[in-house]
Structure 1
């Protein structure tokens, strides 16, 4: 959080509007604290699947990438304020978000899952309806501003929802027992399970897909300002080509060990 605050303070102190700051440069807003999607180091360098997609897109458009680290729930307001040109941050395309910004075609999709302690009576649940009912009165962690938070509010309103600014904060509380379950995309939680503090936890064997509830979106897309119709057309074309030629699938294999690319509809 200190790094993020410092980066944001430096960014806003300059008073610069990075959108369209330089000819041939595409400024990209991303979270920077959501492995393996987006990770920022102390120097502000961004790596992860989102960074790979951004760099592939910039190469296809013959533009230079410039990443701007921003808290996830501040990405849409910052885009609308023209602090960067687009968002690439594992952001699901949803009806609510489309009221504020436009999106590219969906280029990826990953299952959403719950993590609980191995000795939890939730661990053996095998179907989504039973799982949602079993969450009644239980404390569940989600990241603020995500489709996971909106899904829980809609489909498991009797659960006690605890929201976090970052994935790390949520996982610390999960490991310490301050929440009984955490809900996020499977890739983010897989990272936690592979660490020492995650050794006593496991996935609930229920994959929650967007086909189950539209609250979870229409795949992952690039966020674009509503007025930038020309840029959207260029990005859509480029993404469809990058999915078709296997570039995005190859990047996802690097970070997720599986192909999460989504063919253009």
Structure 2
């Protein structure tokens, strides 16, 4: 018993959690309600791009994956409370988030866009400055705690910003006309447009690249507790290999029909 206690203490000193040391298991926090990134069924089974990345990472690290579904804006607090070991949930790397947790290298990059009714006055705008001006006073939906919310708070402070816990809630409101536009990554908006309720909506022809403003982050990364430096090093190495060998690109082709993997830097 004493030997096991000493072994676990040594693992904590090296930045490895008790769950990993005891079972060779990596618990992964993910939202589970943001298709095609992360979808959880009634039984708690998680699928989507995030699940594929998590499974690829666990295989590379020779560990078993366990997914824990958590609302997006509660992921960082839950990681800090040690409810799981890492976050894989389409989470952008930002300076504000880096004050609370550590991140892996960025392994994916996404496009950010607005969806509006086909009858909207925003249709036909093709430049970002013009779009930002036109959003003034509009009711715009975003998911709570996301880089999209922070971006609009900074760039369009006079917009009537509506925040939602889940993408589904935001889709319901735009489909019912309660908001004028919704801002999210392109993949999430495509999911809405491909549904019957999305038939009267379209994307505004303006891509807001993540590189256009620091609030949109430095790519998508794995969230890791700040003290887990050894785990971060192992994850960085594994992600670099998974990007280089095309595994993450192949997974993104499955879910997004395009390669959103980001080369190692």
TM-score range, shorter chain: over 0.9
What SS does structure 2 have at the residue aligned with 1:211?
Answer: helix
- In the TM superposition, what is the alpha-carbon distance from 1:123 to its structure 2 partner? 1.0
Distance in 2 separating the partners of 1:83 and 1:50:
18
Match of 2:100 in 1: 100
Distance in 2 separating the partners of 1:218 and 1:91:
10
Contact (CA 8 Å) 2:142, 2:162: kept in 1 or not?
Answer: yes
Match of 2:208 in 1: 208
- Which runs of no fewer than 5 residues in structure 1 stay unpaired? 1-16
The ranges of structure 1 where at least 4 consecutive aligned residues each deviate by more than 2 angstroms after the TM superposition are 17-23
Calculate the TM-score normalised by the size of structure 2. Answer: 0.92
- Please state if 1:133 is matched with 2:133: yes
What SS does structure 1 have at the residue aligned with 2:108?
Answer: coil
- Cα RMSD after superposing both structures: 1.1
Contact (CA 8 Å) 1:18, 1:27: kept in 2 or not?
Answer: no
What SS does structure 1 have at the residue aligned with 2:140?
Answer: strand
Calculate the TM-score normalised by the size of structure 1. Answer: 0.92
- How many residues in Structure 1 have an aligned counterpart in Structure 2? 249
- In the TM superposition, what is the alpha-carbon distance from 1:206 to its structure 2 partner? 0.4
Deviations 1:67-108 (A, max 9, x none): 000000000000000010000000000000000000000000
Distance in 1 separating the partners of 2:22 and 2:108:
29
- Which runs of no fewer than 5 residues in structure 2 stay unpaired? 1-16
Distance in 2 separating the partners of 1:20 and 1:209:
37
Deviations 1:225-254 (A, max 9, x none): 000000000000000000000000000000
The 5 Å alignment of 1:20-169 reads: 20=20, 22-169=22-169
Match of 2:183 in 1: 183
Distance in 1 separating the partners of 2:255 and 2:127:
28
- In the TM superposition, what is the alpha-carbon distance from 1:210 to its structure 2 partner? 1.4
Distance in 2 separating the partners of 1:21 and 1:89:
24
Deviations 1:206-237 (A, max 9, x none): 00011110100000000000000000000000
- In the TM superposition, what is the alpha-carbon distance from 1:21 to its structure 2 partner? 7.6
Larger Rg: 2
Contact (CA 8 Å) 2:110, 2:210: kept in 1 or not?
Answer: no
Distance in 2 separating the partners of 1:141 and 1:260:
24
